[in-house]
Amino acid sequence: GAKADGHNTCRFFDARMNVEAGEGHRLRQGLRRALERKEFVLHYQPQIDLDSGRVIGAEALIRWQHPELGLVPPGRFIPVVEESGLIVPIGEWVLREACRQGVAWRDAGLPELVIAVNMSATQFRRDDIEQTVIRALADSGHDPALLELELTESILIGDTERVLDTVRRLKLLGLKLAIDDFGTGYSSFSYLKRFAVDKLKIDQSFIRDLQSDPDDAVIVRTIIQMARSLGLRTVAEGVESAEIAQRLSVFRCDEVQGYYFSRPLPADDFAQFLSARSAALGATRSA
Ligand code: C2E
Ligand code: MG
Ligand code: MG
Ligand code: MG
């Protein structure tokens, strides 16, 4: 009957919560040591210029190589480390490692690449963020013009004066700023005017159904037109088919990123992907 069902549902729910709480506890415990044990790794997803078809950037995306659970995606632990404050040392490691990799690829003779790094709100709002960035650039020798920080809309709202000051000081270093997941936050157009950002990353939720949902098509085309008028570049995230890439090209989107081109790859695989792709493009051009 209804009562028995309710009882069963409840027991199932409790059991599942215990599993989740247990795993959450294990994750939290492990996260404290993960940095010193060098268990974090960055994967890189190519960013492709739509006109030339060339890879012009790489977004660094963190993964946690857990000794028992395997490769843990950021969605499972970034919210936890945000809460605990661990995001600060982890975020600094990401920045330093991404800059180091950028220089390693340059030294290996790969084409010039913009390295994009995701920033968390906690990390960005710290007083020492500018110093952290300066140190990462100086210690690695990475060209500031080839570093792009990805900020979410939520970072830019609230405490405006302070954020504005940070943005100004970071821009003076010569690096680029992009707004990640554009369109999903508060999308106050005023910050586009106030903050000197360089790029809008159109959220994948608008890109996924671009071919079938006329509303998404209008939204995406409008964002691209607005960005172009404001002198900002656009990147579409989550491009999963040739048809969507083609449509974005018609809309005059600048860059694309997504599984259709490549999933995020370990650094070595990324370098191979890049060489194979430049070779293929070169062959096409000269043919
Ligand atoms: P994001 O910065 O918006 O990154 C895009 C996410 O979409 C990545 O997931 C990427 O693997 C995924 N993706 C790329 N192309 C496609 C596609 O064609 N289809 C689909 N379905 N997904 C695609 P990932 O690597 O799991 O990262 C999730 C989020 O975790 C990131 O979203 C970012 O907000 C956060 N994150 C990742 N690395 C870092 C980091 O180093 N620091 C901070 N603070 N956050 C990070
Ligand atoms: Mg991002
Ligand atoms: Mg995004
Ligand atoms: Mg995101």
The position carrying tokens 């903050």 is 195
- Residue 170 tokens, joined: 């970071």
pTM of the shown model: 0.91
Burial class (CB in 10 A: 0-12, 13-18, 19+), 176: buried
Please check whether residue 151 is in contact with residue 129, taking contact to mean a CB–CB distance below 8 angstroms. no
Q: How far is the CA of 259 from the centre of ligand 3 (A)?
A: 13
In this prediction, residue 186 carries a pLDDT of 74
* Ranges 52-61, 170-179, 181-190: which has the least confidence: 181-190
The residue with greater pLDDT, 27 or 242, is 242
Q: How far is the CA of 55 from the centre of ligand 3 (A)?
A: 18
Helix (H) / strand (E) element for 21: namely helix 2-34
In this prediction, residue 155 carries a pLDDT of 87
- Residues of the chain with pLDDT > 70: what percent? 90
Report the atom number in ligand 1 closest to the C-alpha of 120: 44
The Cα angle at residue 233 between residues 97 and 168, in degrees rounded to 5: 65
Q: Rounded to whole angstroms, how far apart are CA atoms 108 and 110?
A: 6
Report the atom number in ligand 1 closest to the C-alpha of 123: 44
Pairing of strands 114-118, 55-66: parallel
Dump the DSSP string for 141-163.
Answer: T--GGGEEEEEEHHHHSSSHHHH
3-state SS assignment for residue 84: helix
> Which residues is 62 bridged to in the sheet?
42
Report the atom number in ligand 1 closest to the C-alpha of 259: 18
Whether the complex's predicted ipTM is more than 0.90 is answered with yes
Mutate to test the pocket of ligand 1, among 44, 61, 96 (most ligand atoms within 8 A of CB): 61
Nearest to residue 183, comparing CAs of 212, 158, 211, 154?
A: 154
Is 62 touching ligand 1 by the criterion CB < 6 Å?
yes
The position carrying tokens 């000197």 is 196
In this prediction, residue 281 carries a pLDDT of 81
AA identity, residue 43: H
Q: How far is the CA of 95 from the centre of ligand 1 (A)?
A: 16
Is 180 touching ligand 1 by the criterion CB < 6 Å?
yes
181: left (phi over 0), alpha (psi -120 to 50) or beta: left
Q: Rounded to whole angstroms, how far apart are CA atoms 240 and 254?
A: 16
Residue nearest to atom 41 of ligand 1 (CA): 62
For 275, phi and psi rounded to 5 degrees? -65, -45
Report the atom number in ligand 1 closest to the C-alpha of 119: 44
